Amino acid sequence: MTSHPGRPYLIRVGNQLLSLERPVVMGIINVTPDSFYDGGRYDTAEMARLKAGQMLADGASMIDVGACSTRPGSPPVDQETEKERLKPVLHNIRKSYPEAVISVDTFRSSIASWVVKEFDVQIINDVSGGRLDPDMFRTIGRLKVPYVLMHMQGTPNSMQNNPVYQDIVGDISVFFYERLSELRSYGVSDIILDPGFGFGKTIDHNYELLSRLDEFAMFDMPLLVGMSRKSMIYKVLNNSPESALNGTSVLNTVALLHGASILRVHDVKQAVEAINLVQKLKMSYGFSV
C-alpha cells in the first residue's frame, strides 16, 4: 500500500477556506457527565473555555464540542438537555476565541440549525451519518456548512452487540456511496468522511480498517480518524483510557501514513507532534508504506 502525501483539500468554514493538504487536528471537548474518557471534566462553561484555549494554543485547527455521549451502550439525552449543555459552552468559546473553527457533534438537525445560527458554528459532526434524523441532510444543505459523514453500525445503545461485516471496507464504502449521493442531492459539497472507529466494530474490525484506511482514497475526500484513547487501544494494551495516550499516538501515526486528513483527539499537542514528524518523513524522504 502506498501512503498519500497530502491532497489539496479545501473546505469552506464560515468566511474562510481551510486547507487540509497538510493534516490537521480536531480537539475534543465533551460537555457530558458520562463520556468514556473525559466525562464530567468540562461540565462548566469556564472549564470548557479554558480547555478550548489550551487546545488552540497547542495547535488545534478546530474544536469539536459534544453534549450527547455516544459511548457504547449509552442512551441519547433529550434535545433540551443537549441544548442546555451546549449553550453556555459555545457562548464562552465563541466570545473568547471569535476566529476559532468550531464543530458540534450532534445527530439532531434542530441542534445543527440552532448552533450555526446562534454561535456561528462552522462544522456539523454527525456520528449517525444522517440515519437518526431524516431531516439532517436537508438541513446541512440549507446551512451550507461542512458535514462530517460518519459510519456507524446500529446506534450507540446497540452498536457493540455483535457487529458483523462481509468486508469492512467494502461495506463502509457502500454506505458512503449511498449517503454521499443523497447529500449531494441537497447541494452539500464540503464533506468529510469518518469510517467510525469503535462505532459498531470489534477490535479486529478496527485494526483491519486501520490497515486498509488508504483504500478510502477512492472517494477523493478528506478523511477524519478518531481513535483517541478508545478501547481498541486500551483493551489490546490491557490498561485504561487514562493510560492510552502513547497507544493513541502510535495509531494516529499509522493513520497519517495511510492518508488521514484530520485527527480527532483529546490530546492536541501529541497529535500535532505526530503530524510534524510524519510530514518531515514524507516530504523530505518520500516515505511510503
pLDDT in tens, 17-43: 999 999 999 999 998 875 544 544 556
pLDDT in tens, 59-73: 999 999 999 877 666
186, 194, 235 from 141: Cα distances, Å: 5, 19, 39
Which position has the grid cell 459498531?
A: 200
How far is 267 from 275, CA to CA, in rounded Å? 13
How far is 250 from 261, CA to CA, in rounded Å? 16
CB–CB of 241/209 below 8 Å? no
Domains for the chain: give ranges and CATH numbers: 10-281 (3.20.20.20)
Q: Is the pLDDT of residue 98 over 70?
A: yes
Q: Give the range among 46-55, 91-100, 278-287 with minimum mean pLDDT.
A: 278-287
Q: Give the range among 66-80, 104-118, 178-192, 208-222 with minimum mean pLDDT.
A: 66-80
∠ CA 41-44-46, nearest 5°, is 105
∠ CA 96-101-102, nearest 5°, is 80
Q: Is the pLDDT of residue 5 over 50?
A: no
pLDDT at site 160: 64
Q: Is the pLDDT of residue 114 over 60?
A: yes
User: Can you give the C-alpha Rg of the chain in angstroms?
Assistant: 18
Give the pLDDT mean for 186-212. Answer: 96
Q: Is the pLDDT of residue 283 over 70?
A: yes
- Total residues found in the chain within this entry: 289
Q: Which amino acid is at 215?
A: E
% of the chain residues with pLDDT over 90: 79
β-partners of residue 26 are 62, 264
pLDDT at site 4: 44
Four-residue CA torsion sign, 30, 89, 265, 165: positive
Backbone angles phi, psi at 107, to 5 degrees: -105, 5
pLDDT at site 158: 61
Q: Is the pLDDT of residue 74 over 70?
A: no
Confidence (pTM): 0.92
Quick one: how far is CA 208 from the chain centroid? 19
Q: Give the range among 10-24, 151-165, 168-182 with minimum mean pLDDT.
A: 151-165
How far is 129 from 280, CA to CA, in rounded Å? 34
Catalytic residues: 230, 264
pLDDT in tens, 219-263: 999 999 999 999 999 999 999 999 999 999 999 999 999 999 999
Average model confidence (pLDDT) across the chain: 91
C-alpha cell recorded at residue 132: 437518526
Question: What is the band of 184 on the pLDDT scale with cuts at 50, 70, 90?
Answer: very high
How far is 124 from 135, CA to CA, in rounded Å? 14
Which position has the grid cell 453500525?
A: 153
- Biggest alpha carbon–alpha carbon distance for the chain: 52
Q: Is the pLDDT of residue 123 over 80?
A: yes
Question: What is the band of 1 on the pLDDT scale with cuts at 50, 70, 90?
Answer: very low
